[in-house]
Structure 1
Amino acid sequence: MAFWLVKSEPTAWSWDDHVKKGVQYWDGVRNHQAAANLKAMRRGDRAFFYHSVEEKRIVGVVEVVGESYPDPTDPEGKWVVVDFKALMPVKTPVTLAQIKGDPRLDHLALVRQSRLSVTPVDEESWRIICGLAGVEA
């Protein structure tokens, strides 16, 4: 199993929206590196659901339930989506400031490539962040 972080502006697609839907594809990714990360995801992988822009915090955990396929919102057909199932909200949201303030996490793409919307998270960092969030790794 691999671990990831996916970002969304909560005014466009929030954790609550995803929970209401249950399973939904992650669309609108228009960056080659982020799209490559989507293509690398496999069923059973997990991702932190991150509210970007004003909130800048991890608010939930989702699981990949459908591997990459063409993005239905892309008229050119060159981008992909994956299907995510909402698993659980975090007990304590983990802010970007907390992540940046923890030297064990300073290597994460969230810190180093802040504009990238889909990023990998190594297993040790996943466990650290789960601990901060009050959820089981």
Structure 2
Amino acid sequence: MKHFPGVACVSFLALCCAAGSAGAQTADIKTIVSVGGPPIVLNQNSQLNMAGVFMIGGSTSATVIQNGTNNATGILQFGGTNSASVGQAGVNNLAFVGQTGQSATSLVSQLGAMNTGAIAQFGAINSSTVNQSSP
């Protein structure tokens, strides 16, 4: 059986050249796990921004700000008092917040052509706000 690695390399090179500026895109992908830690503040300013935040503790707080073409955030919080804030500005924005505890507060603000936001709260006191707009 003969292998032609040169053909694969040429095909890959042709694909990259055909993609044009796609080869120069930047990505910022973060996963944060916090057990009883301090509040989390994350700012992302790449073309592709992805953030996953998982928090367990008495009082959890997470703020994620994303400015890019494609933005995605998922926040899960398990604590007595939970607070989450997501701000996204881009063409495609996706945000999910899940909170379980005594009280839960969340804010999702999205500015883009296609916005998807979901909030699930399981607590005695729940408060949520979702703002979505297109330019």
User: Normalization by structure 2: what TM-score?
Assistant: 0.22
Higher helix share: 1
User: Normalization by structure 1: what TM-score?
Assistant: 0.22
- The structure number with the bigger radius of gyration is 2
- Structure with bigger RCO (C-alpha 8 Å, 6+ apart): 1
